[in-house]
């Protein structure tokens, strides 16, 4: 099976780009956690829902889940704008 995969890859790429395959089972999640980068210094801070300027308008929405999502989104927009102004 390995030779078939290598042949198909090389046929698709048009040259001998792949010489061999190494199949590893599991360990993907642990590897991803280890390589996860720290949040950059200039990243957008977590949104503060109380600062959302459209909060009064959003409060009229009857669906609680939708209302909460819109409040978070509005707060995130405000937070991003404040970061842009500081970089400015």
Percentage of the chain lying above the pLDDT 70 cut = 68
Q: Is 71 exposed, middle or buried (0-12, 13-18, 19+ CB in 10 A)?
A: buried
Q: Taking CA 68 as the corner, what is the angle to CA 82 and CA 49, rounded to the nearest 5 degrees? A: 30
Give per-residue pLDDT as tens, 39-57: 566 566 666 666 666 777 8
Query: For the chain, what are the domain ranges?
Result: 41-88
pTM exceeds cut of 0.85: no
The per-residue pLDDT for range 65-80, each reduced to its tens digit, is: 998 888 888 888 877 8
Q: Output the CA–CA distances (angstroms, integers) from residue 75 to 1, 20, 25, in the order listed.
A: 52, 50, 42
Alpha carbons 86 and 51: distance in angstroms, whole number:
17
């Amino acid at each position: 099976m390995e030779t078939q995969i290598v042949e198909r890859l090389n046929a698709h790429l048009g040259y001998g780009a792949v010489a061999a395959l190494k199949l590893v089972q599991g360990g993907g999640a642990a590897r991803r956690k280890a390589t996860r980068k720290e949040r950059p210094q200039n990243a957008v801070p977590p949104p503060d829902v109380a600062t959302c300027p459209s909060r009064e308008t959003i409060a009229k929405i009857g669906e609680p889940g939708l209302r909460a999502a819109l409040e978070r989104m509005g707060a995130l927009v405000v937070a991003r704008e404040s970061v842009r102004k500081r970089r400015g």
